[in-house]
Amino acid sequence: MERRGKKSYLKKTFIGVGSYLFIFLFLYAAVSKLLDFETFTVQLAQSPLLSAYAGIIAWLVPGIEILIACLLVIERFRTLALYSSFTLMVMFTAYIYIILNFSDFIPCSCGGVLEKLSWTQHLFFNIFFIILAGVAVFLADRYSAKKTLLLLATLAILGIGNVTLLFAFSEKKMHRNNAFQRRYLHNPIKNSDTLELHYNSYYFAGEAGNDLFLGNLTAPKHLLQVSKNLKDTTSINIHLPKSDIPYKYPRVRIIDSIFFLFDGTVPVIHTGNMQDWVVRNTFKPEAYFTFAEPTSSNALTIRTVSNKTGNAILGTIALDSVPKVQLKPDILTGDLDGYFDRDGQLFFNKQLQKMLYVYYYKNEYLVMAPDLKEIQVQKTIDTIETPQIDVKELKRTQEIKLGGKSVRVNGLSTSYGNYLFVHSNRLGRYESDEILGYAAIIDIYSIPEKAYEFSFYLYHDPKEKMHSFWVIGRKIYALIGTKLYTYDIKKSNLDFPEDNNPLQWQG
C-alpha cells in the first residue's frame, strides 16, 4: 500500500513538474512574440511555409500557447493540455526540420532567449519537450498504454502531415511556372568524384594551375587548397598584419597569383602573393561595399548601397597609393524598393574579360567591361520581368526584410568561356515536382549569342543542398552539404577555349 502510494506520488510529481515547465515555456514564448509583435509577424512572412497565413498565425500561435498554459494550471484539463502540448511541439519540430533540410529560406520565428539557439539546438530542445509530454500522458493513466500510444502516434502524424502539406503547397506554388519550357540533352554531364570536407562553411575563393582554393566563412584567414582531381588537399593560413580592425564579413578572392582579403563593412582590402600568403598591402577605400570581385591585381568591381537613395549600385576601386572609388548609380535598375529588386550575384569572367551581374528576382543579367562600360542586358528563360518581391518594413527599427512570398527567378550563378551557368529552382512546363528534392537545375546561356542553350540536372544526396558551384573548363565543382562534388561536361555539348575553339565575344 505504501509502495503504491509512493509510486502514485512520483507520477503526480512528474506530471506536475512537466506541466509547469510547459506553462513557463508557452507563456514565455507567447509574451516574447506579443511584446515584439511586428518583428514576429515579419519573421513569419519570411517563411516559405507560413508567409500566406502570417497575419492569422501571428495571433493564433501565441493565443494557443496561452490557452494551453491556462489549461495546464487546471488539473481537470491537464491531460488534455498535455496532449495539446505534445501536438504543438511536434508541429514546431516538423517545421524546423523542413526549414533546415528542404527550404530555400531560414527565417527565425522565436523571441527572447530562444532566439539565441541555433536551429539544430532548437530542434533538440523541442524533441526534449515532446518526450516530456509523451511520458507525462502515459503516467496520467487516463487510457490504457496501448490506447495512449495510438493516440500520440495519431496526433504526431496529423501534426507532421499538416506542416508538410503547408510546405508542399507553398513550395509548388513558388517554384511552378508553366510559361517556359527547358531543353534537356541526353546525359550531357556525368558525376566524377566527391571529397568530404566535414564542414558546410566553405566557398570558392579562386583557382590557379592545378588547384582550387576554398575559403571558410567561419575561419576567414584559413584556405583549403584542393587539387582539381580532388586527390590532394593542403591547409593554408593567410598572415595578416597585427591590427585592431573589427572584421565582420571578411572574404578571400584569388586572381593572377594575387590573393585579396577584404571586408566591405570596415572597409578594408588586403593583398598579397600566393607564394608566401603574407599580406603586403592594405588599402582603406572611402566606400563600404556588400560584394567585391577583383578583375586584375590592382582593381575590383564592387556592389554597394547609395548613401543618398539607399539603392543597390555598382562601382569600381582602383588600388593606387590612395584607392580611387568610382560609383555607377545608373547601371542596376529597379523601381520597387531599390535594394531587393536590384539584388543579384556579381562575378568576373576571366576568359571574356567581362563582369556579369545576374539579378535574383527578374529574368535579366548584365554583361559589362571591367570598368562597367559597354553594358549589355540579356535575358534568362523565365518570364518574370518585374520582380515579385514581398518587402516588409519594421516601423520600430526602420529595418527592411524580404518576405517568403518573394519569387526568386535566378539563383547561384557562375561563368566560364562563352557561357553563363545559372542555378534555378523554378520549374518549367512538364517538369517533375520531385526533381528539386535530389537535383539542382542548371540553365546554360551563350553570352556572345545572347541565347539559351540547354539545361541539365546536378544530381546529389537528397538530404543535402547545393550552396555554391563553379565551372572550370569541362569540370563542374559544386559544394553540396559538407562535400565537394565534381562533374564532367561532355565534349560534344559545349565549346571551350582549351578545345582550341576561339572565344566568340566581339565587344
C-alpha cell, 341: 529588386
The yes-or-no verdict on residue 435 having pLDDT over 50 is yes
Q: Using 50, 70 and 90 to split pLDDT, how confident is the model at 427? A: confident
Q: Specify the range with the lowest mean pLDDT, choosing from 161-165, 299-303, 338-342, 407-411.
A: 161-165
Mean pLDDT (the chain, rounded): 86
Question: Which residues sit opposite 477 in a β-bridge?
Answer: 470, 486
Note the pLDDT of residue 109: 46
3-state class of 370 per DSSP? coil
> Domains in the chain, please, with CATH?
2-175 (no CATH), 189-499 (2.120.10.30)
Question: What pLDDT score was predicted for residue 48?
Answer: 60
**Cα–Cα distance, 284 to 103 (Å, whole number):** 38
Q: Is the pLDDT of residue 261 over 90?
A: yes
Mean pLDDT of 119-141: 87
- Is a pLDDT exceeding 70 seen at residue 396? no
d(CA 102, CA 165): 13
Residue 279 or 243, more confident: 279
**Residue 131 pLDDT:** 93
Task: Kindly indicate the confidence band of residue 86, based on its pLDDT and cuts at 50, 70 and 90.
Answer: very high
Would the pLDDT of 373 be above 80? yes
pLDDT value of residue 463? 80
pLDDT tens for each residue of 311-365:
999 999 999 889 999 999 999 998 888 889 999 999 999 999 999 999 999 999 9
The yes-or-no verdict on residue 241 having pLDDT over 70 is: yes
Contact 73, 141 (CB under 8 A): no
pLDDT tens for each residue of 6-54: 667 788 888 889 899 999 999 998 898 888 777 777 667 666 666 666 6
> E strands within 159-277?
189-196, 202-208, 211-216, 222-227, 233-237, 251-255, 258-263, 268-273
Summarised one tens digit per residue, pLDDT across range 460-505 is 888 888 999 999 989 999 999 999 999 999 877 777 776 655 565 5
Supply the pLDDT for residue 194. 94
The pLDDT, as a whole number, for residue 64 is: 92
Return all residues near 255 (Cβ < 8 A) that are at least 6 apart: 206, 294, 295, 296, 297, 348, 350
Instruction: State the pLDDT at residue 357.
Output: 98
Q: What's the confidence (pLDDT) of residue 449?
A: 92
Average pLDDT over residues 418-431: 90
> Using one digit for the tens of pLDDT, what is the confidence trace for 200-224?
999 999 999 999 999 999 998 999 9
